[in-house]
Amino acid sequence: MKLYYSPGACSLSPHIIACEAELPVELIKVDLTSKLTETDEDFKQLNPNGYVPLLILDDGNSLTEGPAIVQYLADQAPDKKLIPPAGTFERYQLQQWLNFISTEIHKSFSPLFNPVAPEAAKELATDILMKRLETVAEHLSSQPYLLGEHYSVADAYLFVTLSWGQYVNIDISHWPALARYADKISERPAVQKAMKAEGLIE
């Protein structure tokens, strides 16, 4: 499998899950400005949307959205218990969290990274983001992970989005539960491995 990524972007989430699941994945770095890969491929020919992640399977099939990719990867290593079994209520709870992170947290960060976004748009996005993080912090104040006692692909995705706060003046230490959660996940060997591979930590 090939995973196309940009350091620290949302593609870090499937990278972490590939490491957690101990799956062999070839990493290919993408310059999101030029839309070229590190081997000078035109990335938009591979993914017309022009953003990461992109997972290309050995049979040529591909997936382009992080929440779908992490579920696929986790299902390849059921013994790692990174995702509840299909058809269980817990699986739908996981999908609920993946959707919440994607639409309410991830997308709220987008204007904050956009240099041409109007200040009013950034202020609105920040207000929404603070409310959504408050919701997550309250949820995590009484349990270690989003699904309770068990770490899942949703936690990897949330961890990645929380890591973006340092770049846009969103200080998660405002919520002690979120800060503790992020610190705990950052210590996982698979998380350390993925972040080192992307040059995010030494």
Please give the average pLDDT of every successive group of 10 residues along the chain, which has 202 residues. 98 98 98 96 97 98 98 98 98 98 97 96 97 98 97 98 96 96 98 98 92
Residue 8: predicted pLDDT: 97
Residue position matching structure tokens 């969103």 = 170
Other CB atoms within a 10 A radius of the CB of residue 6 amount to 18
Cα(149)–Cα(23) distance, integer angstroms:
24
Does 24 share its domain with 105? no
Q: What pLDDT digit, counting tens, does each position of 125-171 carry?
A: 999 999 999 999 999 999 999 999 999 999 999 999 999 999 999 99
Q: Hey, what are 38's tokens?
A: 């590190």
Query: Look-up: residue for tokens 């003046």?
Result: 169
Q: The domain spanning residue 46 has which CATH number?
A: 3.40.30.10
Same domain, yes or no, for 68 and 43?
yes
Q: For residue 202, tell me if it sits in a domain.
A: no
Same domain as 94, residue 73 = no
Q: Classify residue 176: in a domain, yes or no.
A: yes
Q: What six digits make up the tokens of 110?
A: 């987008």
Residue type, 116: V
Range of the domain at 44: 2-81+190-197
Predicted TM-score (pTM) above 0.95:
yes
* Alpha helices, H only, the chain: 12-21, 43-46, 66-75, 89-100, 107-113, 119-140, 153-163, 176-186, 189-197
Q: Are strands 2-5 and 54-56 parallel, antiparallel or unpaired?
A: antiparallel
The predicted structure's pLDDT at residue 170:
96
